[in-house]
Structures are given as structure tokens and as C-alpha cells.
Structure 1
Amino acid sequence: MKTLILAAAALVLATSFPAAAQTYRSDVRQHRQNERIDRGYQRGHLTPREARRLDRQQQRIRQVERRARAMNGGYVDPRTQRRLERMQDRADRNIYRKNNNRRGYY
């Protein structure tokens, strides 16, 4: 009986973790991208104009996520998740390119 209860508890725990992992949060990635923009500007790798454009791109990503959460009761549906990931991938490439284009601001 004790083993049956432990097995049932383990099964419940094992199935609840993937469900918790499915909630989409881009906060960590967004934070890292913002840090890269700030660091690039402070080190002189980004001009003020480049930094502003990259910041605006980050704001648009946050805006899309906020709207999606507002419409879906705090959750982001899979289609919007893919859209946000593509937007963040594009922002990632832009940050890299702007930081490494040798157009420094000194």
C-alpha cells in the first residue's frame, strides 16, 4: 500500500513539472538582450542611434507579449510564443551585428 501511494505521488509530480515548464516567459532572454545593448553602448560599440533602435525593438517585443497575455488571461498561446521567439532571434542578430560592425562611438 505504501509503495502504491509513493508511486502515485511520484507520477503526479513527474507529470506536473512539464506543465509548469510550458508557461512562456521571455523575461530572462529579454533581460540579457537589454544588458548586451547597455554594455555595447557603454563600451562604445554602439552609437546612440543604434542603441535607441535596439531599445525600441525590445519595447516592441515586450508590447507584443503584454498584449498576448492580456488577451489570454495571463498566458501566451503557442503561435504567439513562436512569433516572440522569432522576434527575439531577430533582435539577437541585430544586437550582435550592431555591436560588431566596427562603427564605434568614442
Structure 2
Amino acid sequence: MKKIIPSIVAAGITFSLAVAPALAAGTDSPGIDQRQMNQQKRIDQGVQSGQLTEKEAKKLNKQQDRIEKKEAKMKEDGKLTKKERAKLKKKQDKAGKKIYKEKHDKQTTAPAPAPIR
């Protein structure tokens, strides 16, 4: 009996170490999250450089918010399927093109002043 208990404990620890990452992987979306951060950075840089007007930045930020909300809703069931990932990728592709288009159109504004340190 004394030899069985440590074996059971060891098996339980091994099982939990093996299963925990697999369970977490269902909602883990580092690629999607990283892309979201990159797109937000592009919007911020566009505002700082004057390539984006306030109105354009507001619309682009709303689009990013909608994508984040959609991602959160998709993750509610504890997993993010391939189909859901594909939908998010498509939305991010569309948003990325919109950011590019707005940053490279003829509408500009004065560059934002550098932050005071």
C-alpha cells in the first residue's frame, strides 16, 4: 500500500502536467493576439505621424474592438476551433488592409506632439 500511493500521486502529477497545456491550448491564440497588438500599434503610429485623421483612427479602433469582442465570444466555450481561427484571420486581414488604405490616402493631419517626459 505504501508503494502504491506515491505511484498514484506521481501518475496524477504527470497526467495533470500533460493535460493542462492541452486544455489551455484550445483558447490560446498567441498569433491572433500578436497580430491584434501589431495592428493597434500601426494605428497608433499613424496617429503619431499624422497619416491618420482622428476620424479614421476612431473607425479603425472600433474595428479592432469588434474583432477582440468576436474573439472573446468565440472563446466562451473554452476552445477556439480552426474554423473560428480562420474567421478571425479573415477579419484581421480585412482590418489590416483598411489600416494600410487609411494610412496611405491623401487625408493627413498634423503629427501628434512628442510626449513630454
- TM-score, normalised to structure 2, is 0.68
Name which of 41, 57, 79 aligns with 1:51. Answer: 57
Q: CA-to-partner distance for each residue in 1:26-46, whole Å, 9 max, x for gaps?
A: 110000000000000111000
Rg larger in structure: 2
Matched with 2:5 is: none
Aligned length: 85
Query: Which consecutive segments of 4 or more residues in structure 1 shift more than 2 A?
Result: none
Where in structure 2 are there 5+ consecutive unaligned residues? 1-24, 111-117
1:77 Cα deviation after fit:
1.1
The percent of aligned pairs where both chains have the same amino acid is: 34
- TM-score after normalising by structure 1: 0.74
Q: CA RMSD in A?
A: 1.7
| 1:31 pairs with one of 34, 37, 40 | 37
Unaligned runs of 5+ in 1: 1-19
Equivalent residue, structure 2, for 1:94 = 98
Choose from 83, 89, 109 the match for 1:85. 89
State yes or no: 1:68 paired with 2:74: yes
CA distance in 1, matches of 2:95, 2:107: 18
1:41 aligned residue: 47
Match of 1:4? none
- How far 1:24 moved relative to its partner? 3.1
Q: Deviations over 1:40-81 (max 9, x none)?
A: 0111000000000000000000001000101x21x2111111
Give 1:104's match in structure 2, choosing from 93, 108, 116: 108
